[in-house]
Amino acid sequence: MNDEVAKDTFTAARHERFGKLPGRIPFEDMTTEVDVDPGGRGAAGYNPENSWSFYSCVALDLGL
């Protein structure tokens, strides 16, 4: 009998904590606005020494 009371207590506590979904997040809270340059270029511009970090071409790697 004591085990059933303990299980009911634990079940009620678990249901109180996890028994409902969290509230919805508004779309406005999921987005941010950032000002950019009018020319569309970043502050750093093009740096050929770092271009390998986001561009890879097998022909260029092989020197073809």
Q: What is the pLDDT of residues 3-34, one digit of tens each?
A: 777 788 888 998 888 888 888 999 989 888 88
Please state the separation of Cα 14 from the chain's center in Å.
Answer: 28
pLDDT mean across residues, the chain: 76
pTM greater than the 0.95 cutoff: no
- Please state, for a pLDDT cut of 70, what percent of the chain lies above it: 66
b/e per residue 28-63 (b: at least 16 CB within 10 A):
eeeeeeeeeeeeeeeeeeeeeeeeeeeeeeeeeeee
